[in-house]
Structure 1
């Protein structure tokens, strides 16, 4: 059954009131608080239809109703406008992020900011190495037979390794090796580098061949094989004020799920440029079925390199949360683009 505009208005009013008051919503309260333009009897009839269709339910034998997961989903899908952030909120985001000194600082500022603004649990994935490109490779001599390889990605992510060289190299040879390595690999996606590393070995001058072979092993480990992803988490204390205890009786299953990085990456790591909302039973992870997750991909320009988002009760301020997640993702992407 397709709901008409009036019933959608009633559903929207129930969602907004329940999010605001945390109390089941009755027809009398709806008529008093919202300009629905119809009588209490009509609202009661509309609520009966919404309940029959599974969009709202009666938690106990009071007159009040609360939205179901299906009701929240319809509300989110029919959001005609996402609540715009105020100029003050935008300035606050910008100020909070603009002082970051490196990638770690960007990630930790971002996750704290999201938790503070939304008052939910925030999760931020570090830029994925699999989606990054090589900006620069530095070779730093430690001794005549050992160099430090420092890989800087376009996202600001830095990886470093030491390489034991089979024969000593002088400063001029290290400089030559650095130049050849950067010429071959800079600007390439990390996932595309294996054949380039092989070509670097094949084309190396005879006197640098042994050193290039040793370097290539470390480069492949750094650029290709080490794709473990990292996430930052903040705001778990916000779970206690979100009403989740009403449904779960205990926060332990949710907290246990949030301790698993694999689960966190599953929640926000399937990065897309659009904002994604998963409500209640739409979550694949059983322990998180009482929660909703709002996530978005971020990155420099049109390239998506990571995901970020928030997790909270299904009874959350969806318009405000979606706007915040979108705005923060955009700001972080702009910061990475400027680096």
Structure 2
């Protein structure tokens, strides 16, 4: 049975998007008929292209040229993607082997973002696990000098945060301070840690009370009330090859808060695609971002994604972003 007019026009749009992604050249009706075997005449395709143009899905740059997709057209194309082609078995094995070679959390995440940049030939970004979803595993206290301490907090997901604390007087009993902090913080979420720290200050022996107050203040102010969600970037040099992206997008990526805001809305198992003017930040209006979360069935630890031009290979990029996120989740849980 011949497809309906609506279905055929979706096929025509998909074909135009695919050809433009591959060549970055305007696509004509004759080429569509020959390349995609649409089984209708060039005249029918031209009518379909005229209809797609009137709907704002494709545009003609010059009177005699073919058509190129608009952002609205890319959006309809992306929304029509239902089945994502899985990566090949060798690709999957290579990803898992590479990520399992990581020596710690940050190394695994750095490897994953480097791999994603290589696979997609775009810029890739990953968010370290949010402190708000983590539990405290251990808090190490190191005396850097008689009046300066280094606090090293390690979470159950392997995230490590370091903070310096200046003391009013030399400290002699670092071990007791360390033991008190760990007794109060171990297995606590960030929200519970704030309460535990406040209670700890109240019950700390007088000889360590000032030191504990200073440690608790630093931990609460920097890790509990204002947690720093860090990003790791890779492949930004890939964007320098694309002139419309080279300046504005790189500047937006440097403003990490912009990207963190975008990544904060994605969940593990869900792939989000934002295109051009859909971004609130004007610096990203020439770019598309494909992102997803990583974690487990109970919580999303963080997010990762790819930043590239609006004519990126959406189908392939969605597949690769999803696959890398799945393997990051698997490695972190193992």
- The aligned counterpart of 2:138 is 136
* Unaligned segments of structure 2, at least 5 residues: none
C-alpha distance in 1, partners of 2:263/2:314? 17
Q: Does 1:270 align with 2:265?
A: yes
Select between 59-68 and 224-233 the one with higher mean Cα deviation. Answer: 224-233
C-alpha distance in 2, partners of 1:62/1:227? 55
C-alpha distance in 1, partners of 2:149/2:181? 14
SS across alignment from 1:305: strand
How far did residue 235 of structure 1 move? 1.5
Q: How does 1:195-274 map to 2 (within 5 A)?
A: 195-204=195-204, 209-242=209-242, 245=243, 248=244, 251-273=246-268, 274=270
Say which of 99, 105, 108 aligns to 2:107.
Answer: 105
Asked if 2 retains the 8 angstrom alpha-carbon contact of 1:301 and 1:337, the reply is: no
SS across alignment from 2:158: coil
Q: How does 1:1-20 map to 2 (within 5 A)?
A: 4-20=6-22
- The aligned counterpart of 1:291 is 287
- The aligned counterpart of 1:188 is 188
- The aligned counterpart of 2:93 is 91
Asked if 2 retains the 8 angstrom alpha-carbon contact of 1:165 and 1:214, the reply is: no
- The aligned counterpart of 1:311 is 307
Select between 227-236 and 13-22 the one with higher mean Cα deviation. Answer: 227-236
- The aligned counterpart of 1:332 is 328
Asked if 2 retains the 8 angstrom alpha-carbon contact of 1:141 and 1:148, the reply is: yes
C-alpha distance in 2, partners of 1:35/1:62? 23
C-alpha distance in 2, partners of 1:52/1:7? 12
Q: How does 1:32-181 map to 2 (within 5 A)?
A: 32-140=34-142, 148-163=150-165, 164=167, 168-170=171-173, 177-181=177-181
SS across alignment from 2:300: coil
Select between 79-88 and 135-144 the one with higher mean Cα deviation. Answer: 135-144
After superposition, the CA RMSD in angstroms is: 2.6
Select between 55-64 and 109-118 the one with higher mean Cα deviation. Answer: 55-64
Q: How many residues align?
A: 329
Q: CA distance change for structure 1 residues 162 and 278 in 2, over 3 Å: closer, same or farther?
A: closer
SS across alignment from 1:4: helix
Q: CA distance change for structure 1 residues 304 and 165 in 2, over 3 Å: closer, same or farther?
A: farther
Q: CA distance change for structure 1 residues 262 and 209 in 2, over 3 Å: closer, same or farther?
A: closer
Select between 233-242 and 81-90 the one with higher mean Cα deviation. Answer: 233-242
C-alpha distance in 2, partners of 1:112/1:8? 35
How far did residue 54 of structure 1 move? 0.9
Cα deviation code 1:41-78 (max 9, x no counterpart): 22221111111111111122234111111111011111
* Unaligned segments of structure 1, at least 5 residues: none
Q: CA distance change for structure 1 residues 86 and 149 in 2, over 3 Å: closer, same or farther?
A: same
Cα deviation code 1:292-325 (max 9, x no counterpart): 1111122355322322111111111101101111
